[in-house]
Structure 1
């Protein structure tokens, strides 16, 4: 409390005292203040020898010697750092050693009331009685709201958010140690994983504790959310962590399944497009063939043998195109997964029965019988390599 004395000078003063009690030194200053008005002791500095640094000139020592060196003629040379034991040098050493203390003491003397016993007693006397805490108790949310509002002017919602992290940590430590109580906070679920200061954490939804207050200007939250350390939470609430891991694995399996099904859907769509294109070509070809046949019959009269031969060739082309289309539609990506029918002849018969094109071609029974005979299906080797799948 002395004007003009800062922390640096105070530290220098403590170093010069070398372990002495500073408060006792202040009391000594108080006694010495009455002697400060006396004139200081003055000692005249005498001439010193440049060779031995003792009192006396060099010429005197050369003729009659030096008393300090105990020589009758000349003197003993000494180092420049040698300190002379004369009275003037001793007084100078004392002044240099106590220069910091003397400077502060003079400033303290000009300050009325020093050493301020009331201030010293305020720091020496401990008026607070320390209460011995046997164990750490669980924080009380309601009491903390009142304390924070009176002492720090915190809102109730802000105080609840600040204390919630302490409540969750206290309960997790207790549960990890094996102490489980109904008053402890209940973890609802893990929202997601987080990383806080490089530490793996969980974002947790908690059931709101008693006396929890929401913000007035915001919508009420269903749960209280905190970010907790992953290892501590797993030790305290292993069932919640296990449930989260199961849900996470199920979501991962669904994603992998969807990725596998997408290529199959694309292949099926490509096959259906090819089938539709082939069917459209078949319709155009069959209609063009029928129209041309009718026009030729009206314009030119052909022999029955030539007409039967022409119709048989057209029917062969249509049947072969239909067979190739059906084989393409029913042929999967891998032949081992979907094998071909046992008899291509039965497949052609069912196709001819269900198709629209053969119905148009077989309007009369005579024409259909001639077409069937012209195809000569009985003479075809149905078990040949042309109708079997490649190994």
Structure 2
């Protein structure tokens, strides 16, 4: 089926809300299925601990991911070892699958530049907080693979529904289509761009159909169904590496899902959405959905669930201890890591800041702030 002929409103689903099979499951062995389940549980527990740390004043502003584990873990598992990941700022679950230690994620949100020090073999770009700025970066990165003849390399770029209203999104998508780059553009449609609801974001019936304007395929998937997400992402990555004659390499995936918590810990979602809506979406929770399926398949039982929960709790506890054992960064480090050479005005500000810290002490400055 050609790019233009495909109906992007056909939402792909493998498991229903109760974990019953309603589509064609991907061909995954038991170890991989358990791995997906475990990493979803890990992401959820990490998220809960991170929010708690922020509330206790032990970490800065943090963007919760609960509800989006199916989309993050399912898509990350579809990547090959040499593929690349281009995250936004909420992909804590996806990045740990790719090899980014949880300690690094904690350090980033604790204000340490070391949190941006991605292991060389992880193939992950740094966190992108500006909305949609990573989309043209991803398109350019994928174009570089074509120019270098790296035909077997592909990547995935994550962004939210709010990003589809930004110019960077359209410019990146247009570039990707024109230059036929091997990149999968993965939209986490979690229904709210901070306080802006999906229906106020665009008049389009779906977000996936936006890909058609750029000449390539758009696919909508149940983002709270990790098996469906894995399936469509695997297919999209395969096409990125080896497209059919009538298809371009890029694909846009719209994963329809919901964020259970706040946009960030600086946000109060009760101001703009009803609790009944949250509870309606929690009935679609990806973790019990997959758990029910694995139990029905005889792959998972209560004892193994308890073992996995103990394992992930210990892993997160160890990561928290490791992050909090790091010496606090010096406040003047805020001037580093942006420019190779500071512009004159910033150099002047840095000198004034250092002088103030030397006079009053960094602790006094932080308390005053």
What range describes the TM-score normalised by the shorter chain of this pair?
under 0.3
- For normalisation by structure 2, the TM-score amounts to 0.19
Higher share of residues assigned helix: 1
Higher relative contact order (CA 8 A, sep 6+): 2
Larger Rg: 1
